[in-house]
Amino acid sequence: MDPLHICLLNDSFPPMLDGVANVMKNYADIITRRYGTATVVTPAYPNVNDNYPYEVVRYASVDTTKLVGYRTGYPFDAKVLERLNSVPMDLMHVHCPFISAQLTRVIRETRDVPVVFTYHTKFDIDVRKAVRMKLIQDAALKIIVDNIAACDDVWVVSEGAGKNLRSIGYEGNYLVMPNGVDMPKGRADAAAVDAVRKAYGIDPDVTVYLFVGRMMWYKGLRIILDALRMLKNAGKRFSALFVGDGLDRKEIEAYMQSLSLQNECKFLGAIHERETLRAIYAACDLFLFPSTFDTNGIVVREAAANGLASVLIADSCAAEGVTHGRNGLLIEETPEAMANLLYHVNDRRAALRTLGDAAMEELYFSWDDSVKNAVERYRLILSDRERFRKPRQLTGSDDFFQTVSQWFGVHTQLASMQNRVQTFAETRLRPLLTPPESGRKKGPKQS
């Protein structure tokens, strides 16, 4: 088959590491390795060396990490638009409905290629956390829905994500396209696990619980800590590891200390080395992820890849495909429910390992398979372009993006004309106006 040229856009990418940045990197890596070429478009970060086998186009950004945890990009730069108008591009796949989606809509006016959008996150929760005024919240959600509705094909990472997308006002069609896991299937070797246990002081003789994710309260971390305090009060011995970083980390650690859990709980920070993280999964007995925020829960699949079953909230997005007592454990969204479950499984490590084996066999889904499904859908869209094409003027904001695109088109033409004039002056006019060296008269010697 002909190679594909896919442009991937998102508001985060390494060195910023979160779930969607990880998605972007896996898409770009696998597309480049197996299906053609990828171009990543994302905000700039200071002192970044993009040493990838594909091009990364970065645009200006401002540091808003203390406010929202990310840098906020400003992509409407003529040089960036000019570069993106020249890269090979069969299709654009955008993974964020904010700046990236707005940039995509501008590019589409000149490139006229299909646009795919993937809905990864419950953005209504992010918006309500960042903005207090309901009027502004509603306006922000309308912009999100407007940007998504303008795309030709809309994907969600789970059925729960699709329901959330409907709840914020989206009325179009969508397709469930789950994300994969970039870890191999199978537990890390014993030597790597032993090294991790020594490095982090993990007692091999006690049950070890694990959380991996952004350190944000809405990930269910209060439920975990309150449940662990109840478990300790009941006389159970255990350890708990917390991997990740985030805006709420200091508050979460302070709350842990207020519960007198500092001897049981270790906060390891963000761990980017995948083999180290893999060994940490394998060194633990049960993964705790009581989040109703996440739409897919890639970390649940990572845990499963390493033979680790998860405790999840029943009917949450992360619990899709999990059967209680077969390949995972499901609870109500309360610390009491988690504490009660942990009390009964804390001393049954062999049973937890059997549960983890089932999770490995039934929940694992690789990134190779995920991107293969995406590429098949790309080719279908490209082969039947008219069926998928969304009509222009679908939303009121399309006029704005057409105007911006036209303005940059004029700007690019003027810049090109200026470059041609400058080249003509340098190569043709300057030699005529500058006398040859030998013909110049020497001036008086300066003393």
User: For residue 428, what pLDDT is reported?
Assistant: 54
Determine the residue type at 139. Answer: A
The answer, yes or no, to whether residue 230 has pLDDT greater than 80, is: yes
Which pLDDT band holds residue 440 (cuts at 50, 70, 90)?
very low
**Distance separating the N- and C-terminal Cα atoms of the chain:** 76
Quote the pTM value: 0.79
User: For residue 426, what pLDDT is reported?
Assistant: 58
Give the tens place of pLDDT for each residue, 344-357: 999 999 999 999 99
CATH class of 190-364: alpha beta
The answer, yes or no, to whether residue 49 has pLDDT greater than 50, is: yes
Give the tens place of pLDDT for each residue, 69-119: 788 899 888 889 999 999 999 999 999 999 999 999 999 988 889 999 999
The answer, yes or no, to whether residue 407 has pLDDT greater than 50, is: no
Give the tens place of pLDDT for each residue, 127-186: 777 777 888 888 888 999 999 999 999 999 999 999 999 999 999 999 999 999 989 999
The answer, yes or no, to whether residue 209 has pLDDT greater than 90, is: yes
User: For residue 52, what pLDDT is reported?
Assistant: 97
Superfamily of domain 4-180+369-398: Glycogen Phosphorylase B; (3.40.50.2000)
| Side-chain-facing half-sphere of 22: CA atoms under 13 Å | 18
Question: To the nearest whole percent, how much of the chain has pLDDT over 90?
Answer: 71
User: For residue 129, what pLDDT is reported?
Assistant: 72
Same fold, 4-180+369-398 and 190-364: yes
Backbone region of residue 90 per phi and psi (left: phi > 0; alpha: psi in -120 to 50; beta: other values): alpha
CB-count burial class (<10 Å; 0-12, 13-18, 19+) for 424? exposed
Higher pLDDT, 17 or 4: 4
Compute the residue count for the chain. Answer: 447
329/308 Cα distance (integer angstroms): 11
Task: Select from 408, 395, 409 the least CA-distant residue to 151.
Answer: 395
Give the start-to-end residue ranges of the domains of the chain. Answer: 4-180+369-398, 190-364
CA–CA distances in Å: residue 281 to residues 19, 114, 180, 189: 17, 39, 17, 12
Give the tens place of pLDDT for each residue, 298-325: 899 999 999 999 999 999 999 999 999 9
Determine the residue type at 397. Answer: S
The answer, yes or no, to whether residue 373 has pLDDT greater than 60, is: yes
Q: Quick check: 293 and 317 in contact, CB under 8 A?
A: no
User: For residue 188, what pLDDT is reported?
Assistant: 93
